[in-house]
Amino acid sequence: MLTATRVRAPSSLQWISLFTAAFLVLPTAYIVYVAMTAAPAVWARLWSTRIPELLGNTLSLALGVALITLVLGVSLAWITVRYDFPGRRIWEWALALPLAMPTYVLAYVYAHLLGMGGPTEQWWQLLFGHEARLPSPQSFPGVTMIMALDTFPFVYLLVRSALQNLNVSFEEVARACGVSPWATLRRVTLPLIRPAIAAGLALVILYVISDFGAVSLLRYQTLTYAVYQQMTSRYDHTAASILSLLLVVMAIIFLVTERWFRQRSRFYQTSGRYRRSTRQHAGPLGTALITSYVVLVFGAAFGIPAAMLIQWSVEAISQGALDTRFLGFIWNSGFLAALAACGAVIIGLPLAYLASRRPSRLNIACLQAAYAGYALPGPVAALAVLVLFTHFAPALYGTVVVLIIAYILHFLPVGLQSMEPALQQVTPNVEEVARTLGCTTHQSLWRVTLPLVRNGFVAAWVLMFLQTMKELPATLLLRPVGFDTLAIRVWLEASEEYYQLAAPAALLIVILSLPALMLLVSKDWRGEAQKGVT
Amino acid sequence: MASFPRTVFALTLLISALILQEWPAKTADAADKLVVYSGRAERLIKPVLDEFQTKSGIQIELLSSGTTELVNRLQAEGDHTPADVFLTNDAGSLEHARELKLLRPMNMREVERAIPSQFRASDNSWIGLSGRFWVVVYNTTLVKPEQIKSLLDLAQPQWKDKIAIPNSGSEYLQAGVSVIKTTFGDERTKQFLQGLKTNAGSQVYQKSSQIVEAVAKGQVAAGIVNHYYIYRHLAAQPTAPIAAIMTDQQEGGMGAIMNVTGIGVTRASKHVDSAKLLIEFLVAQAGQKLFADLDKEYPLHPDVKADPALVDRHSFRAALVPLARLAELRESTLTLIEQVGLR
């Protein structure tokens, strides 16, 4: 703590960090400025025509998805923590897999599977008669279901971790005092895992309102989709800015909620007589029920879509889809994602370092500014960067630079979440020892701190690399000539219903996302769970 | 342990190397390369450009995106734009680009010989290549052709939940509404749009191909699309129960709504000679035939025949609103569309 109290002149690092923070806030601030200074007539027109419908659609979708993910996530977490059944260890892991599937991939697979004249309809009509119609994937229930299948692992993982950390003595005390099992669940267990549920749901909602891929392919009008449509069909971006402002406000509300619950969910009294709950052995009937439930959810969310992608990919590849052009798309994706991830690590380093080593108000504010990108859905990040550059540096518009900046703005928060704790785990003492041995600040940073935080930073890099690789709306809007990525190809082919042609790129994205998912599951959630046990 | 700083250093080197490697590719003044910004669906234009590339040896770099988005982009990039050629499927947007001085006036004998003057800008800064009509596609098992005489019929209550329409961002819908507005006036156009909105419900699509697909499956009875999507679908699936109606052909009626795919050379282009070669290729009989065969559009060259599957071009009338006027009409059309609240 000695270093924190010592008075220092602002170092070059401080200036860099200030400059970066300003740079990161500028685009968002500019959007807000454009929206706030828009003619009242534009606001009035949007309020009387589009906004009520868009708000209604967005909120009802978020609510619907939240409800379904609540049921799926909590029940699956409960089953995998409290019961023992054959294959439990595999299922535990497999149920996180849907996170590796971008929403636009799941959406397009289901658009085919459940669509008119699709394979499911034939079975449906065999069962319910020739005229029977499936619920359309493009309807509200369809979109809700698809988004829920993609996002329930957020709730599942957080609740599972909370259940594992939960001290079973509380429940036992309640039971010993004569409380019925149901009442114990309601009055003891649920309140204890409530913060985890809330944090999971807030993540789900944030994800849903900022999603572009699924809603655009399923033609469901949300605010995020409307921002994209406004940007691509109007000569001026005022209306898009106004819708963006609403969206950002909405995202901030859920973001703040999520942070609040997440902080609360960390404080568990697990010292003293902590005991893990014992697993109940599921009998034959229980095993059958549990297995069929888990198989059903996993199959719908990952198994069937993945099988479909593999089948389509094989067909497409046998027709020669893997040509040099396709290799070019892989190269583009890798190139852009690597550039963005490197850039974000380099930009994030001074921010995270200063905030953890010299937590002055200014330094913490700089770090918070970098988190602003969290509240920017892809099209809004693109709009912010685009509007800013067209006004102040039009020469850079249409170059890789603009796209990379949008990526960094959008994904830096993801990286900071791994970088910040990594830095916090290194005690300042180590650096001070280096200083007393004659190293300068820069030397100690370079030779002591950086090697120690390497793993956290590698994790941050990988996460940002993969997020960027999957990114769709900003890439669509800002890519330079000749920079089609895998994600772009999936979306372009799928939106014209060339499902086979979209499959190889989609499958590759899913496969490449798996390492990041493993990182996420083992670090963020499992890590915390294990900390709780020891 | 000291390897991490070295990793950072190596990464920075790698990035710089990557950037340097991409940079010259972008700025190089290669005479045999053309950058094309295209607002057309990629699979409709790429085969044509590929053909040009093989014939001429000039390499084409294609950026496919939305039409309005590309106009915005050209304007923002100004003199620095990498684009040599802007190609898209709405005369209104091309004319708008001309008004913004993004396109270069051209003086080409081949063009004047091949393409009638009503399909070009007055100064040839954009040149029409092929014609398309905004028509009704209907499912032959669900609709009888005599039920729909005019586009405006689709706004009647009997079509509730039975039609599919493009979203209001599509430039050809905006162009179509501009023509209707000029012919029938604001009030009737507004009623028409309100009817369309009610009847289509959630059946609002991003792409014409999706509308044709929905009609073929019987998901909806009819839809409004560019004609060639119908014939492309039929070419792939000859038994699909769909057909086209050329609307508004009655005595004194509006006529079918026409638009063109057109091309213009950017003012900032440094490869004007190569761009001229491309235009020559596209307006010549062989190039025009590609549009006819591959895309099922109506060639604008008077001597090149359309695909025989299409409705004979001489059997119907086109609406009289000049293509170049679509640009000036657009703003008031957008206001109308937004007042109605079309998606």
User: Strands B33-38 and B85-88, how do they pair?
Assistant: parallel
- A-interface mutation test, from B3, B7, B8, B266, most A Cβ less than 10 A away: B8
- The answer to whether the beta carbons of residues A109 and A307 sit under 8 Å apart is no
CATH no., domain B132-257+324-340: 3.40.190.10
CB-CB contact of B264 with B94 (8 Å): yes
Note whether B15 contacts A342, CB cutoff 8 Å: yes
Give the model's pLDDT for residue A50.
84
> Which residues of chain B have a CB within 8 Å of the CB of A446?
5
* pLDDT given at position A269: 52
Binning pLDDT at 50, 70 and 90, where does residue B224 land?
very high
Nearest chain A residue (CA) to B229: A496
Higher pLDDT, A169 or B85: B85
C-beta atoms surrounding A314 within 10 Å: 14
Are B5 and A451 in contact, with CB atoms under 8 Å apart? yes
Class of domain A11-266+283-533: mainly alpha
> Are A491 and A484 a contacting pair, CB within 8 Å?
no
The alpha carbon of B290 is separated from its chain's Cα centroid by a whole number of angstroms, namely 16
Task: Yes or no: say if A220 and A143 are a contact pair by the CB < 8 Å rule.
Answer: yes
Can you name the residues that pair with A150 across neighbouring β-strands?
Answer: none
Residue A251: exposure state from Cβ atoms within 10 A (0-12, 13-18, ≥19): buried
* pLDDT tens track, chain A, 534 positions: 444 444 455 678 888 888 888 888 888 888 889 899 988 988 988 888 889 989 999 999 999 999 999 999 999 999 999 999 999 989 999 999 999 999 999 999 998 888 777 778 778 878 887 777 777 888 899 999 999 999 999 999 989 988 888 878 888 888 889 888 888 888 888 888 888 898 889 889 988 999 999 999 888 889 999 999 888 888 888 889 999 999 989 888 887 877 787 676 554 555 556 667 778 888 889 999 999 999 999 999 999 999 999 999 999 999 888 888 899 999 999 999 999 999 999 999 888 888 888 888 888 888 888 887 777 888 988 888 888 888 888 778 778 999 999 999 989 988 888 888 888 877 778 888 888 888 887 788 788 888 888 888 888 898 899 889 999 999 998 998 888 999 999 998 888 778 888 999 999 999 988 887 887 777 544 444 333 332
CA distance A28 to A45: 23
Kindly identify which residue of chain B lies nearest to residue A235, measuring between CA atoms: B72
Residue B240, CB half-sphere, CA atoms under 13 Å: how many? 24
Longest dimension (CA), chain A: 84
Please identify which residue in the block is written with the tokens 């009802």.
A60
Is residue B183 a contact partner of residue B321, using CB atoms and an 8 Å limit? Answer: yes
Residues of A in contact with B35 (CB under 8 A): 481
Q: Is the pLDDT of residue B217 over 70?
A: yes
0.90 exceeded by pTM? no
For the B28-131+259-314 domain, the top CATH level (class) is: alpha beta
How much is the pLDDT for A397? 78
Question: Closest by alpha carbon to A91, among A303, A323, A275, A248?
Answer: A303
CB A268 within 8 A of CB A116: no
> For residues B190 and A133, which has the higher predicted lDDT (pLDDT)?
B190
Topology alike, domains B28-131+259-314 and B132-257+324-340: yes
Cβ–Cβ < 8 Å for A500, A315: yes
Residue B191 in contact with partner chain A when CB distance is under 8 A = no
And the tokens for A35? 């929206």
Q: Hey, what are A309's tokens? A: 């992608």
For tokens 């025989």, name the residue: B308
Q: In 3-state terms, what secondary structure has residue A315?
A: helix
Phi, psi dihedrals of residue B263, rounded to the nearest 5°? -140, 145
Task: Give the best residue of A212, A442, A455, A496 to mutate against chain B (max B CB count within 10 A).
Answer: A496
Please, are residues A152 and A301 in contact by the beta-carbon 8 Å criterion? yes
Q: What would the mean pLDDT of B236-244 be, rounded to a whole number?
A: 94
Asked if B215 has any chain A CB less than 8 Å from its own CB, the reply is no
Mean per-residue pLDDT for B16-35?
Answer: 60
C-alpha to C-alpha distance for A476 and A490, rounded to whole angstroms:
11
- DSSP single-letter state for residue A104: H
DSSP secondary structure string for all residues of B191-242 = HHHHHHHHHHTT-EES-HHHHHHHHHHTSSSEEEEEHHHHHHHHHH-TT-SE
Q: pLDDT value at position B255?
A: 93
The type of residue at B251 is E
Measured at the alpha carbon of residue A118, what is the angle toward residues B236 and A513, in degrees to the nearest 5? 100
Confidence at B109, pLDDT banded by 50, 70, 90: very high
Task: For tokens 């619950």, name the residue.
Answer: A261
Is the pLDDT score of B10 beyond 80?
no
Cβ neighbours of A175 (radius 10 Å): 14
Q: Where are the domains of chain A?
A: 11-266+283-533
Q: Are B289 and B304 in contact (CB under 8 A)?
A: yes
DSSP A235: S
Determine the residue type at A346.
Answer: I
Contact B203, A263 (CB under 8 A): no
Alpha-carbon distance of A261 to A159, in angstroms, equals 13
Contacts of B218 in chain A (CB under 8 A): 116
Give the residue among B295, B227, B292 at the shortest CA–CA distance from B258: B227
Residue from A61, A234, A235 whose CB has the most chain B CBs within 10 Å, to mutate? A235
Which of A210-219, A229-238, B14-23, B131-140 has the weakest average pLDDT?
Answer: B14-23
Evaluate the CA torsion angle B219, A57, B166, B154 in order and state its sign. positive
Radius of gyration of chain B (CA): 22
Q: For testing the chain A interface, which of B33, B42, B63, B167 should be mutated: the one with the most A CBs within 10 Å?
A: B63
Confidence of residue B242 (pLDDT cuts 50, 70, 90): very high
Core vs surface per residue A383-403: b (16+ CB within 10 A) or e: bbbbbbbbeeebebbbbbbbb
**The tokens 């790698």 sit on which residue?**
B14
What single DSSP character describes residue B151?
A: G
A-chain residues near B15 (CB < 8 A): 338-339, 342-343
Which of A45, A339, A389 is nearest residue B18 as measured by Cβ atoms? A339
Residues facing residue B165 across a β-bridge:
B204
For CA atoms A530, B1, B5, B8, give the dihedral sign: negative
Closest CA of chain A from B246, distance in Å: 25
Distance from CA of B252 to the nearest CA of A (A): 33
Amino acid at B56: S
Per-residue 3-state assignment (H helix, E strand, C coil) for A472-493: CHHHHHHCCCCCCCHHHHHHHH
**Residues of chain B positioned with their CB less than 8 A from the CB of A495:** 206-207, 210
Of B18, B206, B219, the CB nearest to A335: B18
CA distances from A438 to A58, A118, A400, B159, B192 (A): 58, 72, 42, 84, 81
Is-contact A106 A211, C-beta < 8 A? no
Closest CA to A473 of A414, A408, A415, A403: A403
Could you say which of B4, B82, B206 has the minimum Cβ distance to residue A219? B206
Report how far residue B119's alpha carbon sits from residue B128's, in angstroms, rounded to the nearest whole number. 5
Backbone angles phi, psi at B41, to 5 degrees: -55, 135
Q: Give just the sign of the alpha carbon dihedral A190, A191, A197, A201.
A: positive
CB pairs under 8 A between A and B: 121
- What residues does each domain of chain B span? 28-131+259-314, 132-257+324-340
Is B198 at the interface with chain A, CB within 8 A? no
**Residue pair A407/A470 in contact by the 8 Å Cβ criterion:** no
